[in-house]
Amino acid sequence: MEALVAVLKRHPGASVVLFSALFRVVHGLVRKLPPPAAVLRDDFRAWKWRNLSVSMVHSLVTGTWAVSSALVWPETISDLHSHHTSLSYLLVCISTGYFVQDAADIILTGHGKESWEFLIHHTLVIWCFMYALYTQLYVAGAVVALFVEVNSVTLHLRLLLKLAGAASSTAYRINKVLNICTFVSFRLAPQLYLTWYIGSNYSWLDNAFLFLASMMVMNVMILVYFYRLICSDFFWRGDHADRNGTRDSKKFLTD
């Protein structure tokens, strides 16, 4: 493991390209799995199902990995600037590769316009993670940021159920409660902690202004998404077709 990570550290850009290619292989494998009949209604739904399925794989792997790293090495939480292990560096490499692949998938399939919010998010994440990989600083911060992938599991499951026409199912009702709980504990809380850490140590952190500015943009995006999520799942009253995810909208963040 140490030898592998040593190679990754010498060639972080090439390493990200490699892991991006591996996630493209996952995308190809997902295409071979038969989707629910409701997903086959149009090409966009079929693509969205594949895209979310690959995202689910990433979230399951990296979310578990990030939380485990923090439990095994508590310094991950206390020293976001300088601490990192070989496993945490590898985690950030893999995750960066996923975000590059996902951004490319959105753009090259012609869905950039309706998914512009995701592209802004991915751009911010990629530059922060690439900085960590090249400088070997803020690797722990990237690991804490990946706590959000625990919530992404329930977020992706929510959208997959809607695409499958199961938004009225018991599974969806249970998941929407879990989704709010994980949103607060694994998305909002880590994001606020990262913002607080950078703000309180602003005077000595490297490139603190750029990181704090990135955090503030993502904070606004997360709060807007949280508002939309609560309204959609708990207060919004649309017609039956909308509740079952059969609406003709192509906007990810309004689903």
What is the per-residue pLDDT for 14?
96
- Render each residue's pLDDT in the chain as its tens digit; 255 residues: 888 899 999 999 999 999 999 999 999 999 899 889 899 888 899 999 999 999 999 999 999 999 999 999 999 999 999 999 999 999 999 999 999 999 999 999 999 888 899 999 999 999 999 999 999 999 999 999 999 999 999 999 999 999 999 999 999 999 999 999 999 999 999 999 999 999 999 999 999 999 999 999 999 999 999 999 999 999 875 544 444 444 444 544 445
Tokens 């997903």 map to which residue? 39
Distance, in Å, from the CA atom of 168 to the CA atom of 202, rounded to the nearest integer, reads 47
Cβ density class 15-43: b for 16+ within 10 Å, e for less? bbeebbeebbebbeebeeeebeebbeeee
pTM: 0.92
CA-CA-CA-CA dihedral for 181, 101, 117, 246, to nearest 10: -70
What is the per-residue pLDDT for 244?
44
What is the per-residue pLDDT for 237?
55
What is the per-residue pLDDT for 250?
52
User: Which two structure tokens, joined as six digits, stand for 235?
Assistant: 């207060």
Q: Burial, 84: exposed, middle or buried (Cβ in 10 Å; 0-12, 13-18, 19+)? A: buried
User: Which two structure tokens, joined as six digits, stand for 43?
Assistant: 């090409």
Tokens 């609560």 map to which residue? 230
Instruction: Write a three-state SS string for the chain.
Output: CHHHHHHHHHCHHHHHHHHHHHHHHHHHHHHCCCCCHHHHHCHHHHHHHHHHHHHHHHHHHHHHHHHHHHHHCCHHHHCCCCCCCHHHHHHHHHHHHHHHHHHHHHHHCCCCCCCHHHHHHHHHHHHHHHHHHHHCCCHHHHHHHCCHHHHHHHHHHHHHHHHCCCCCCHHHHHHHHHHHHHHHHHHHHHHHHHHHHHHHCCCCCCCHHHHHHHHHHHHHHHHHHHHHHHHHHHHCCCCHHHHCCCCCCCCHHHC
Q: How many domains does the chain have?
A: 1
What is the span of the domain harbouring residue 70?
2-254
Integer CA distances (angstroms), 71 to 66, 142, 143, 185, in order: 9, 15, 12, 16
Distance, in Å, from the CA atom of 53 to the CA atom of 51, rounded to the nearest integer, reads 5
